[in-house]
Structures are given as C-alpha cells and as structure tokens.
Amino acid sequence: MPWTLPHVYWESFFAETTSFFGSPRQVEAYRPNDTACHGRFGVTSRTAPVFGAGGHAYVYLCYGLHMMLNVVADKEGAGAAVLIRSCAPVSGFDVIQQRRGLKTEKPILLTGPGKVGQALGLSTEWSNHPLYTAGGLELLDGPEPENILVGPRVGIQYASPEHVNALWRFAIAGTPWISAPKNTLRPAL
C-alpha cells in the first residue's frame, strides 16, 4: 500500500470566512501499547478521542500552550494516532501569518506541531471531528511522496527506550518544511 500524506483543508465559519490549504510534510505515529502514546493509560476524558474511530481528529493542549492536531489512525477502541508535526502552506498565507503573528513565508510558519495548531486556530473542541467530511477541518487526498525520511520521534524521553528509539517519525525529503531536529532523519529503506 503506498504511503501518502493528505492535504489539510481548514475552513472557519466564525466572524468571517477564512480558509487555507496546508500539506503535511512531517508526521509521527503513536501506536497502541506505545509508551509515548496518550492512550497508554487507557481512556480518560482527555484521551477518549484517541480511542475513537479512525479518520477523526484528536486535538489536545500540550504543556498548557500548544494545540496539537492528531489523526486517529486505527479502529475504534485501539488508541492510535498520527501527530501532524509540520505542514507546507499551499494557500491562505495571510490567514497563517495573522494567526502565527509573523509576516514571513519562511518555513518557521508551520514547522512544529504547535505552530500548525496555532495556524489552524485549533481548540480541543475539534476533537472527534470527522476529517473525511467537508466542513471545518478536512483531510483531502494528496500525492504519494517520492522520498520519505524516517527518524525517532521528538520530545518523548519519558517513554521506554524501545519507543524513544523507534523510527516512527516520517517526513518528505527535499522540503524545508520539516521541524527540528532534522539531523535525526534519514532515508527510509
């Protein structure tokens, strides 16, 4: 089965209509029984969405600062998700710049999961939102990447060594829209 990264389409219907497309460039996988996965302690009010049906959003607040977007990635009850670590903007630079408070087109805009969440204007209210239906936040089919990089995930030192060292971080090679640390990524075999 080919590995693809979808495009993220965001449309907000608050005060005024704004929308932009972003194309994920880097993701991290979190599997059931993974000591870095939020589902490792079972279902709680915070983690319930990660145990939902695949294709839905799991949005959580990280360190009281950043909203993180995950795509639930297994059958209902499994507790697996994919974190969107970075995106390349396709359109809607003005919306992204306004939400990020930066007037630049450089990769700093969307290279980091907190930056992606801020640019999307996310809140935890988006958890459980179906990402396969039009309206609000939607994943669209994207092209199959030619070259994929793999590496260990970021910021999970609390997990068991086997999970800290697992190569479950995936990025598209040749793009500047990848968050640090870049030196831990290498071509997939």
Q: In total, how many domains does the chain have? A: 1
Q: Is residue 134 part of a domain?
A: yes
Task: Indicate which CATH number applies to the domain containing 70.
Answer: 3.10.300.10
Give the pLDDT confidence of 30-65 residue by residue, as tens digits. Answer: 999 999 999 999 999 999 999 999 999 999 999 999
What percent of the chain clears pLDDT 90, i.e. is strictly above it?
Answer: 66
Q: Is residue 121 part of a domain?
A: yes
Give the pLDDT confidence of 59-116 residue by residue, as tens digits. Answer: 999 999 999 999 999 999 999 999 999 998 888 888 889 999 999 888 899 999 999 9
CA separation for the pair 22, 175 (Å, rounded): 14
Average pLDDT, the chain: 87
Q: Is residue 184 part of a domain?
A: no
Q: What's the pLDDT at 140?
A: 77
Inter-residue contact 54 to 74 (CB < 8 Å): yes
Q: Is residue 58 part of a domain?
A: yes
* Peptide bond preceding 2 in cis form (omega within 30 of 0): no
Backbone angles phi, psi at 162, to 5 degrees: -65, -35
| Residue 132, C-beta contacts closer than 8 angstroms, at least 6 positions apart | 55, 138, 139
Give how far the C-alpha of residue 109 lies from the chain's centroid of Cα atoms, to the nearest Å.
14
Among candidates 83, 69, 122, which has minimal Cα distance to 100? 122
Q: Is residue 83 part of a domain?
A: yes
Q: Is residue 2 part of a domain?
A: no
Q: Of residues 29 and 91, which shows the higher confidence score?
A: 29
Q: How many CB atoms lie within 10 A of CB 171?
A: 26
pTM of the model: 0.89
Look up the domain containing 13 and give its range. Answer: 7-146
Q: Is residue 165 part of a domain?
A: no
Q: Is residue 182 part of a domain?
A: no
Residue at 84: amino acid letter: I
